Amino acid sequence: MNTFGLQARFLVPLLMTLVVTAYLALPVLDRLTLRWFSRDLNLRGELVTDSLTDSIIDGLDENNLSRLSLAFERVARDERLVAVGLCSPSDDLILHTKAFPRSIGCREAREIAGQPYPQIEIAGGSVHVGFHNISSVEGVAARLILLHDLSFIERRSLDTRHYLVTLLALLGVVVALITIVVAQFMWRGWIASARALLDNGGLADVKTLAASEFAPLAADLRARLRDLEDEFRRSLGPELEWNPARLRSLLHTQLRGDEVLVVSNREPYIHDTQEGGVMVRQPASGLVTAVEPVMRACSGTWIAHGSGSADRLVVDAQSRVRVPPGSEEYTLRRIWLTPEEEQGYYYGFANEGLWPLCHVAHVRPTFREADWERYREINQRFADAVVAEARSEDPVVLVQDYHFALLPAMIRAQLPKATILTFWHIPWPNPESFGICPWRREILQGMLGSTILGFHTRFHCKNFIETVDRYLEARIEHEHSIISYQDDETLIESYPISIEWPSEKTAASWPSIAECRQSVCRRLGLPETVRLAIGVDRFDYTKGILERLNAVERLLEKHPEWCGRFVFVQVAAPSRSTLEEYRNFQDRIEQLTARINARFGRSDYLPIILLARHHDHHAVTELYRAAEICLVTSLHDGMNLVCKEFVAARDDERGVLILSRFAGAAREMTEALIVNPYHVEESADALHKALLMPLPEQRERMASLRMTVREFNVYRWAGRMLADAGRSRLRRRIEARVERHRHT
Ligand code: ADQ
């Protein structure tokens, strides 16, 4: 309701009250004035009687009524006195002035004068009747009738009415004006306070909120707004929701069932020999988590490095195998690499060169000529595989990540009509940082073979465009984020990656939060009262695991009350362990964990539990649901999917996410406690705050985070990219048709 509505609500009853008051008050006022005037006229009558008494007694004694008559006429000249009459003691009218009405006799006059309002209507209007004794020494000598004009009283009463009505009207106007002014001020102040609270939202300092008189109101208001937003989104319903069905329909309508190929280094399923048999597992990788649902939806071909020990055993003659095991929804085409090739292309150039080059984590990139050569060769091998797998001249090829910077241009050289979508899963640095790469031009040229080049954030897009501007002769349309390089156009766009939102069936299959907690506590030998925080990562120096452990140590230093009550569980899957940097990193984490545990641990308590192994999806979900806090403290991260998985697992809308500002996810997940992981104090304080966070605030933040992740899910990520690809293909088809018409 706006301020006018508010004022109207107040003013209408006020005005009605004034009207009713006037309506009731006026008759009372009339009676009151009449009584006052009656009293006044009686008094006046007494005075007139006193002044005439002597003349009357003398006149009666001398029987000289004509002199008396003259005296009466003189008195009756008073404008308020209408007539005068004189009665004998036996009530006979013996003398009267000319205007005395015939209808009134002495008896009537006596009767009327005895009433509370002694008045009577005569021809000239209403008159007040006074009946006064003229006393002499012998007793009552006569009685004097005085008829006073009442019309002036009516005039005065009318005047008084006017005054009263004017006064009430004025009062009404003044009160209305004051109300409007006060309401305006109050409304503005109220709105400002409410806005301030709402702007601060869930991130407002708790103390400020508590201090504010609006705090309870703001909480209600926010809850109501969230409900309204919920209702709104629900009302839009499936229209907005991205799911496999919508993605499939998009593939069929916009890409008309065109062929889709995915290229990534990591394969989505790894077959390993174990205990004499073959077992299959899914690797711990954000990329696989993200792209797998897309492939399931469009049943294409996924080309990847066959890295499992039993991979060759399960493929056909063309190195193909149908996956996922059991449901077999798409084809996995494996590419074989020798250990030397893998060393140079994957560990060497991609992970010792490009990975640290793109992540600002203060680890120096290493560039070796031999690694670069391998990288080129393997990119070419994958490009050849794409061409071999393609059944059409213009397939849609999704190239994944920094292992294949050269692939887009290599595919373009063989399949010029292909639509190539490259997605760079890691950050893109600024031109200066990227400039230290000896093959910077080749890498940029390779990437610009793409039709569409995607990054997680606009910031990474901007860095890439500036890098091209710095090192290549390219035309850049900043307005449309399009780079034209050697006859080809590349659209640079941001597509924030996400996870597959768990279906109702999946969520229903999860054990309850209490069961997850019990099971995790039992497994780790913890009391169920423990306050649990978790971290889930690959062992990678960009993930900020050391910084996280330092924050836990600082928390226990600053707040010793958590000692014995708080446990941090770090799940870390070994990763790239053949690289020295990664082995050292894992050692440092183990040493730091041991030191902190030695410092704060007791015989029955360790503040940090390090689980250095891969966990299956079920175990990771169980941990997400058991914990109260999830710590994501990446020093630099393209997006980070762990934080989104944690939020998706919390269908109880509880739990607190602590998220690094340097993860791409921080741009979307603003309701998390955002921290700078380099600032140990800030991270420790966030941990403390998370441990103390009231349940309503947890719910509020978590509900909002869940809404975001649910809506911006992986199908949307893929859908937006594929829709852009569809538009680009349509445009090229139309251009080709126009071109044909020109030549015919
Ligand atoms: P990653 O660097 O691999 O991905 P991230 O996005 O956090 O990082 O994904 C990790 C995935 O592995 C998650 O699905 C997680 O559940 C899983 N995982 C981690 N540790 C595990 C463990 N010990 N056991 C089992 N599973 C584990 C890269 C970029 C990211 C980007 C993704 C997707 O570095 O910034 O978000 O690609 O684009």
Alpha carbon 528 to chain centroid, angstroms: 34
Tell me the pLDDT of the chain averaged across its residues: 89
Identify whether the C-beta of residue 261 lies closer than 8 Å to the C-beta of residue 386. Answer: yes
Strands, DSSP E only, in 88-162? 93-96, 119-122, 125-136, 139-149
Is there an atom of ligand 1 within 6 Å of 572 CB? yes
Element (H, E) at 353: none
Pocket test of ligand 1: the residue of 639, 647, 659 to mutate, having most ligand atoms within 8 Å of its CB, is 639
pLDDT value, residue 115: 85
Q: In this model, does residue 283 exceed pLDDT 60?
A: yes
Strands (E), 364-440: 396-400, 419-423
Q: Which two tokens stand for residue 730?
A: 């349509």
501 or 218, greater pLDDT: 501
The pLDDT assigned to 483 comes to: 98
Domain residue spans of the chain:
2-154, 258-336+381-494, 504-712
Of 398, 425, 618, the residue with max ligand 1 atoms within 8 A of its CB, to mutate for a pocket test, comes to: 425
d(CA 585, CA 102): 129
Within this chain, domains 2-154 and 258-336+381-494 share the same CATH topology: no
Distance CA 705, CA 632 (A): 15
290: part of which helix (H) or strand (E)? Answer: helix 286-298
Rg (Cα) of the chain, in Å, rounded? 49
Q: From the CB of 714, is ligand 1 less than 6 Å away?
A: no
The CATH number given to 258-336+381-494 is: 3.40.50.2000
* The ligand 1 atom nearest the CA atom of 290: 33
Q: Is 351 in the pocket of ligand 1 (CB under 6 A)?
A: no
User: Among residues of the chain, what percentage have pLDDT more than 70?
Assistant: 90
* Tens-digit pLDDT profile for residues 691-701: 999 999 999 99
pLDDT of residue 356: 98
361 burial level (CB within 10 Å; 0-12, 13-18, 19+): middle
pLDDT at 6 over 60: no
CB neighbours of 496 closer than 8 A, spacing ≥ 6? 456, 457, 639, 664, 667, 668, 712, 717
**Would you place residue 218 in the very low, low, confident or very high pLDDT band (cuts 50, 70, 90)?**
low
Asked if residue 150 has its Cβ within 6 Å of ligand 1, the reply is no
The better pLDDT of the pair 718, 686 is held by: 686
pLDDT for residue 212: 56
CA 540 to CA 355: how far, in whole Å?
A: 11
User: Long-range contacts of range 508-513, CB-CB < 8 Å, 24 or more positions apart?
Assistant: 510/621, 510/625, 510/649, 510/651, 511/622, 511/625, 513/625, 513/626, 513/652, 513/654
User: How high is the pLDDT of residue 216?
Assistant: 65
Binning pLDDT at 50, 70 and 90, where does residue 210 land?
A: very low
Phi, psi dihedral angles at 305 (to 5 degrees): -70, 125
Q: Residue 226: which pLDDT band, with cuts at 50, 70 and 90?
A: low
Instruction: Specify the pLDDT at position 372.
Output: 98
Pick from 573, 570, 575, 574: which is nearest to 551 by CA? Answer: 570
**C-alpha 643 to ligand 1 mean position (Å):** 10
Band of residue 151 on the pLDDT scale cut at 50, 70, 90: confident
**Mean pLDDT to the nearest integer, 278-288:** 80
CA of 433 to the centre of ligand 1 (A): 24
Residue 252 makes CB contacts below 8 A (sequence gap 6+) with: none
Residue of 571, 561, 584, 548 whose CA lies nearest to 659: 548
Amino acid (1-letter code) at residue 630: C
Query: Bridge partners of 421?
Result: 398, 452
Residue 590 has pLDDT above 70, yes or no: yes
Using a 6 Å cutoff on CB, does residue 686 contact ligand 1?
no
* pLDDT given for residue 80 in this prediction: 79
Angle at the Cα of 24 from the Cα atoms of 22 and 28, rounded to 5 degrees: 105
- Buried b / exposed e over 474-500, threshold 16 CB at 10 Å, is bebeeeebebebeebbbbbbbbbbbbb
Phi-psi sector, 544: left (phi>0), alpha (psi -120 to 50), beta: left
CA within 13 Å, CB half, 711: 15
Give DSSP secondary structure letters for 203-251.
Answer: GS-HHHHHHSTTHHHHHHHHHHHHHHHHHHHHHHGGGT---HHHHHHHH
The verdict on the CB of residue 573 being under 6 Å from ligand 1 is: yes
Select from 74, 84, 77 the least CA-distant residue to 128.
Answer: 84
60-76 pLDDT, tens digit each: 888 888 888 888 888 88
Atom 26 in ligand 1: residue holding the nearest Cα: 284
pLDDT of residue 286 exceeding 80: no
Is 537's C-beta closer than 6 angstroms to any atom of ligand 1? yes
Ligand 1 pocket, 623 CB below 6 A? no
Q: pLDDT band for 238, please (50, 70, 90 cuts).
A: very low
Query: How many angstroms separate the CA atoms of 668 and 665, rounded?
Result: 6
- pLDDT higher than threshold 90 for residue 119: no
Q: Write down the pLDDT at residue 201.
A: 44
CA 414 to ligand 1 centroid distance, Å: 33
640 lines ligand 1 (CB under 6 A): yes
Residue 446 near residue 485 (C-beta atoms within 8 A): no
Taking the C-alpha atoms of residue 612 and residue 198, their distance in angstroms, rounded to an integer, is 42
560 vs 66, higher pLDDT: 560
- The residue nearest atom 16 of ligand 1, judged by CA position, is 642
User: Does the pLDDT value for residue 44 go beyond 60?
Assistant: yes
Contact 364, 387 (CB under 8 A): no
- Residue 645 CA to ligand 1 centre (angstroms): 10
Residue environment code for 170-209, b if the CB has 16+ CB neighbours within 10 A, otherwise e: eebeebbeeebeebeeebeeeeeebeebeeeebebeeeeb
Contacts of 182 (CB under 8 A, 6+ apart): none
Average pLDDT over residues 88-112: 87
- Give the ligand 1 atom nearest the CA of 638: 35
Task: Tell me the per-residue pLDDT of 701-712, one tens digit each, with 9 for 90 and over.
Answer: 999 999 999 999
> Phi and psi dihedrals of 82, rounded to 5?
-80, -45
| 152 contact partners, CB below 8 Å, separation of at least 6 | 80
In the structure, what pLDDT confidence band is assigned to residue 39 with cuts at 50, 70 and 90?
A: confident
- Torsion of the alpha carbons at 669, 608, 206 and 676, rounded to the nearest 10: -50
> Half-sphere exposure (CA, 13 Å, Cβ side) for 628?
20
User: Can you tell me the mean pLDDT for 387-415?
Assistant: 97
Q: In CATH, which of 3.20.20.120, 3.40.980.10, 3.40.50.300, 3.30.450.20 is domain 2-154?
A: 3.30.450.20
From the CB of 648, is ligand 1 less than 6 Å away? no
pLDDT at 27: 76
Structure tokens at 243: 């799911």
Ramachandran sector of residue 302 (left: φ over 0; alpha: ψ -120 to 50; beta: rest): beta
Q: Mean pLDDT check: name the lowest of 20-24, 364-368, 468-472.
A: 20-24
Ligand 1 center–CA 447 separation, angstroms: 24
Q: Whose alpha carbon is nearest atom 20 of ligand 1?
A: 537
Atom of ligand 1 nearest to the CA of 286: 9
Model confidence pTM above 0.75: no
* Ligand 1 proximity of 713 Cβ (cutoff 6 Å): no
Q: What is the pLDDT of residue 204?
A: 44
> Does residue 620's CB lie within 6 angstroms of at least one atom of ligand 1?
yes
Q: Is the pLDDT of residue 205 over 60?
A: no
pLDDT at 192: 66
φ, ψ for residue 569 (rounded to 5)?
-105, 120
* Cα of 258 from ligand 1 centre, angstroms: 30
The finding on whether 545 has its CB within 6 A of some atom of ligand 1 is: no
Pick the range with the lowest mean pLDDT from 413-417, 589-593, 715-719: 715-719
Ligand 1 atom at minimum distance from 427 CA: 35
548 touches 535 (CB < 8 A): yes
Question: Would you give the distance in Å from CA 470 to the centre of its chain?
Answer: 40
Residue 340: burial class (beta carbons within 10 Å; 0-12, 13-18, 19+): exposed
The rounded Å distance from CA 573 to ligand 1 centre is 10
pLDDT surpassing 70 at residue 231: no
Tens-digit pLDDT profile for residues 481-515: 999 999 899 999 999 999 999 999 999 999 999 99
| CA 268 – CA 264 distance, rounded (Å) | 9
Least confident of 182-186, 582-586, 726-730, 740-744: 182-186
Residue 426 CB–ligand 1 contact under 6 Å: yes
* pLDDT higher than threshold 80 for residue 35: no
The minimum-distance atom of ligand 1 relative to the CA of 499 is 14
- Evaluate: CB of 544 within 6 angstroms of ligand 1: no
Relative to the CA of 425, which ligand 1 atom is closest? 38
**Amino acid of residue 686:** A
The token pair that represents 377 in the structure block:
């060769």
Q: What would the pLDDT profile of 637-695 be if each residue is shown by its tens digit?
A: 999 999 999 999 999 999 999 999 999 999 999 999 999 999 999 999 999 999 999 99
User: Looking at the predicted structure, is the pLDDT value of residue 94 above 60?
Assistant: yes
Report DSSP state, residue 637: B
Options 3.40.50.300, 3.40.50.1820, 3.40.640.10, 3.40.50.2000; CATH for 504-712 is 3.40.50.2000
Q: How far is the CA of 285 from the centre of ligand 1 (A)?
A: 4
Region 717-737: what's the mean pLDDT? 90
Question: 131, 28 in Cβ contact below 8 A?
Answer: no
> Residue 10 — very low, low, confident or very high, per pLDDT cuts 50/70/90?
low
Ranges 8-17, 425-434, 565-574, 577-586: which has the least confidence = 8-17
Nearest CA to ligand 1 atom 14: 286
Q: 699 CA distance to ligand 1 centroid (A)?
A: 26
Least confident of 237-246, 415-424, 495-504, 525-534: 237-246
Å from CA of 613 to ligand 1 middle: 14
pLDDT band for 253, please (50, 70, 90 cuts): confident
The larger pLDDT score, comparing residue 237 to residue 314, is at 314
The best mutation among 642, 667, 668 to test binding of ligand 1, ranked by most ligand atoms within 8 Å of the C-beta, falls on 642
332 lines ligand 1 (CB under 6 A): no
536 CB under 6 A from ligand 1? yes
Q: Give every strand in the sheet of 139-149, ordered side by side.
A: 93-96, 81-87, 139-149, 125-136, 119-122
Instruction: Answer yes or no: is pLDDT of 191 > 70.
Output: no
Mean pLDDT, residues 43-58 taken together: 85
Q: Which residues pair with 656 in a beta bridge?
A: 629
Average pLDDT over residues 198-222: 54
206: confidence class by pLDDT, cuts 50, 70, 90: very low
Q: Using a 6 Å cutoff on CB, does residue 286 contact ligand 1?
A: yes
Model confidence at 1, pLDDT cuts 50, 70, 90, reads: very low
More confident residue, 75 or 368: 368
Ligand 1, residue 456: give the atom nearest the CA.
38
